[in-house]
Amino acid sequence: MTETARLMVGTHLAAEMVANAAERAKKLQDETGVQPCLATVLVGDDPASATYVRMKQNRSKKAGIGSLSVVLPAETTTEELVAELGKLSADPAVHGILLQHPVPGHIDERAAFEAIDPGKDVDGVTMHAFAAMAFGEPGFVSCTPGGILRLLQAYDVPLEGAHAVVIGRSPILGKPAGMLLLASNATVTYTHSKTRDLAGIVRTADIVVAAVGRANFVRGDWLKPGAVVIDAGYNEGNVGDVHYEEATQVASLITPVPGGVGPMTIALLLEQTVDAAEAQTARIPRR
């Protein structure tokens, strides 16, 4: 069988976003002497998390964005992590803060996220960021959901009036993705592990956002013919949450894994770091 779905590739659009962020970072530094700086905080020695942090740091440097790395031992307490994030929030040389998640299980992740100054929450993980997304107020968006919206817009996917089904309700992916889709006038249904007849609900979707963290979870026969499929999962072996081979026979558009949502996430992180640096620099009194 031949594939019917067209790929929604994020690499080219992400490269344009990063190039634009790099230009703005250079302009800010040339005009004010301020180099945008992203602080990354890693707790523990999880290999996958360490790899993600290194990748984000490398992308930052290539975009002319300074990178400050904070690595804390796995036994770090919630109080110690909150204190470290408080220091970074108060440091005028740091413009954006990224806490690599998930953190070790003994840490209160929400308390840690809330220790980040909303003006430096360039990953969009605080309650302030979620409220801004929900109410359409100024603020930083969660990077993966924000990247998804930019990808949908770039591929001219009609959102107004479309039925979007979000599979997953994580506070930094599923929930904000639904809020951003709702703000674009889509009709949004959240589904999760307790949802009855999940496959039946997904079959009604014009747009499917899969964010469950389970390889090949969404099957091709779950999809309505012509649906747009956003696979926000990334599992061992470069496998997404959607059964790619099956889905491509049914969907009209689909994001590959890797190369779909992932590059957009990092690009938006860098873009928002420059946004934060510009905003903070504008508040610095001129002598």
* Mean pLDDT value of segment 275-285: 87
Q: Is the pLDDT of residue 236 over 80?
A: yes
Contact 209, 170 (CB under 8 A): no
| CA nearest neighbour of 34 among 89, 118, 95 | 95
Catalytic residue among 100, 117, 241, 272: 100
Catalytic residue among 57, 117, 121, 123: 123
Tokens of 167: 């599979």
Spatial separation of the C-alpha atoms in residues 169 and 185, rounded to whole Å: 19
Task: Name the one residue in this structure whose structure tokens are 């696979």.
Answer: 231
**Domains with residue ranges and CATH for the chain:** 32-117 (3.40.50.10860), 142-262 (3.40.50.720)
160-171 pLDDT, tens digit each: 999 999 999 999
User: Which stretch of 46-50, 59-63, 164-168 has the lowest confidence by average pLDDT?
Assistant: 46-50
Spatial separation of the C-alpha atoms in residues 187 and 208, rounded to whole Å: 12
Query: In the annotation, is 100 catalytic?
Result: yes
Identify the pLDDT of residue 250.
Answer: 98
Identify the pLDDT of residue 6.
Answer: 97
Spatial separation of the C-alpha atoms in residues 111 and 126, rounded to whole Å: 9
Catalytic residue among 56, 117, 175, 275: 56
Query: In the annotation, is 26 catalytic?
Result: no
| CA nearest neighbour of 69 among 50, 47, 82 | 50
Q: Is the pLDDT of residue 202 over 90?
A: yes
Angle at 240 between CA 259 and CA 162, to 5 degrees: 85
